[in-house]
A and B are shown apart, each in its own frame.
Chain A
């Protein structure tokens, strides 16, 4: 099973990269684009275990490593 984990800063936590991208776009006259948030996508395979166990492992690694719960939130998607 292949998973995609999307890690982003929580709402309310200053996203410096997002702000920089937004400023760059504004300079290019894309004034309608707002609230740019930059995140990170991590793809991984989990093999040889049941679907429930695989999902649980992905949840676990999000908690211990892939995201920092103090500042980040994550979403897990199963992909083909």
Chain B
């Protein structure tokens, strides 16, 4: 498997992604600069976290205009797999590859902490090797992670099983109103969504930061299960 890791000015999680796919799972990884349009025959494109363009205007807004995004749109339309984490998720929403948008956290704070997320759908490439209902503990680090979609979009997401992850308690219970659980106030506790086909997935939490027991003393390596699709 060949994984392309897209780097925008301000991206800072690209090496973490290379470490998971390349270092731990043995996939081949290549970095793709945002001005490049050649996706180098990769099987999966990852938009990592960070602060592309310094979050100017809106998070992910300027990144969506980078030349690489045109290639990614074509790649995704052909069924190519695309994963966006944190700022990558924001870019996918801004570019229309995923529905909805990310607002500022309800509690008006940048949140850097561990959260629990529940796998809601296996109908995405990213969760295809996971069990529905399984709980993953991993970090978040964002100010704009409050998922929002209008009522019509939300209904479609729920009806089509497009909600991939929800914030939950350690034992998998949901509460939209409890900010200890649904930490940023996301609508329907949504932490990640997929497109209709399931080949484009985005989420705010960072499972790539909970893949080794050495560094994940809270979440252990529970994030690693999500990357097994590349193993």
Contacts and interface: CB of A to CB of B under 8 A. Distances in A.
A57 interface: no
B120 interface: no
A67 B150 CA distance: 16
B148 A70 contact: yes
Interface core residue of A9, A19, A68 (most chain B CB under 10 Å): A68
Contacts of B58: 68
A35 to B, nearest CB: 17
Interface string A1-42: 000000001000110110110000000000000000000000
Interface string B50-85: 000000011001100100000000000000000000
A70 B100 CA distance: 7
B56 to A, nearest CB: 11
Contacts, number: 36
A68 B105 contact: no
A49 interface: no
A14 B106 contact: yes
A20 B93 CA distance: 26
A17 B93 CA distance: 21
A22 to B, nearest CB: 12
Interface string A45-74: 000000000000000000011101011000
B150 A17 contact: no
A65 B108 contact: no
B104 interface: yes
Given A13-B148, A65-B57, A71 B104 contact: no
Contact of A13 (B61, B65, B94, B103): B103
Contacts of A9: 103
Nearest to B148: A71
Interface in B77-99: 93-94
B61 A16 contact: no
A65 B65 contact: yes
B173 to A, nearest CB: 24
Nearest to A70: B101
